[in-house]
Structure 1
Amino acid sequence: MYRSGHYGVSLLLYAPVGFALLLAGYPAVALLGGAAMLSLARLPDVDLRVPFVEHRGPTHTLVFALLVGAVLGGAGYVTAPELGLDPRVAGVVGAVVGTYGIVAHLVGDVLTPAGIAPFWPVSPRNYSLSVTRADSTVANTGLLALGVLVTVVAAVVGGRIG
């Protein structure tokens, strides 16, 4: 996937989480979580700029997702009091969103023929659904539009109910 496709997948997958946070009475956490998801949407592709790291290698794994989740969970817990948030909630949301943000990227890449090996280093097996090429303008734009639509609906409905 390209940038717009990864943003779309991130929005699409985060919408139910943001909706649940709105219903639970945590609008600030829902907003921060959404911003974090979008910020993480392209993080695994940092491997394109790191020498000696294969593209769709270690940064495209569940191990990397868990590592990012642990870092963001810790950061959420530590910074929560300064933001007026419950540290436990912010820590859990940080860990979930950090992990989920990377998983959303992996979902986008598994749609392409090149796929990913998400269980590396345990298994080198590559997974691909071969739904669309990474450079497909239709797929990337369509995913972005769908992600925005679902996010807006979740925000409006969740905001009214919550």
Structure 2
Amino acid sequence: MELHQEGHIGLCLLFYTPIVYTGQHIGVPWILLILSTATAISIANIPDIDLKTTFLSHRGFTHTILFALITGTTTGFLYLGIASLFNPFPLEIRIAVLLLGFLTGFLAITSHIAGDMLTPMGVKPYWPLKNKKISLSLFKARNRLANTIFLALGIIIYTSSIWQAL
């Protein structure tokens, strides 16, 4: 059983808060930070696609660091492609957009993996290098209190980091 969607959204916000906080302090436009947060949230539950398909094993490939790297790289190049449609940016801006996209996808997936590590079923995040399952068995995925706490913490910490920058 997977950590529920609201728990994964909260963890995603917790993982993504440092990116938004740093972005505010180095001058990344607000609209880009908000859009990248929305992208991260929408990506955060992609690993659970394995529940809806027959060709992916449950908590298999989509719950690995390899999948997070692929997702981050794909998101980075999508960001770069979209940004290039609007304006030919200097190299340093293109690199920054690529990095922001990579971090968006990578952190969204790793936050999901981290959440599932907390449950008894665990995950094998280092596959194909290591086939070792990691499980902290802190609570079951369907634990409503745990999911609500993660969502609330994510919203509070994310919002407070934005509030501090105002």
* TM-score normalized with structure 2 length: 0.91
For the residues of structure 2 that align with 1:152 and 1:38, how far apart are their CA atoms?
14
For 2:109, the equivalent position in structure 1 comes to 102
For the residues of structure 2 that align with 1:70 and 1:141, how far apart are their CA atoms?
31
Q: Does 1:76 align with 2:79?
A: yes
For the residues of structure 1 that align with 2:64 and 2:110, how far apart are their CA atoms?
8
- Tell me by how many angstroms 1:83 deviates: 4.9
For 2:128, the equivalent position in structure 1 comes to 121
For 1:138, the equivalent position in structure 2 comes to 145
Residue identity opposite 2:24 in structure 1: L
For the residues of structure 2 that align with 1:7 and 1:134, how far apart are their CA atoms?
14
Matches within 5 A, 1:1-162: 1-26=3-28, 27-83=30-86, 86-158=93-165, 160=166
- Tell me by how many angstroms 1:41 deviates: 1.3
- Tell me by how many angstroms 1:88 deviates: 2.2
Query: Deviations along 1:32-89, whole A, 9 cap, x unmatched?
Result: 2211110111000001111131110000000000000111111111111335673322
Is the CA contact 1:76–1:87 (under 8 Å) kept in the aligned structure 2?
A: no
Query: Deviations along 1:3-37, whole A, 9 cap, x unmatched?
Result: 01000100111111111101111123321221111
- Number of paired residues? 159
Structure 2's unaligned 5+ residue stretches are: none
For the residues of structure 2 that align with 1:22 and 1:132, how far apart are their CA atoms?
35
Residue identity opposite 1:68 in structure 2: T
For the residues of structure 2 that align with 1:28 and 1:22, how far apart are their CA atoms?
11
Structure 1's unaligned 5+ residue stretches are: none
For the residues of structure 2 that align with 1:46 and 1:83, how far apart are their CA atoms?
32
Q: Which moved more, 1:144-153 or 1:74-83?
A: 74-83
Poorly superposed stretches of 4+, deviation over 2 Å: 81-88
For the residues of structure 2 that align with 1:83 and 1:54, how far apart are their CA atoms?
40
Q: Specify the SS of the correspondent of 1:53.
A: coil
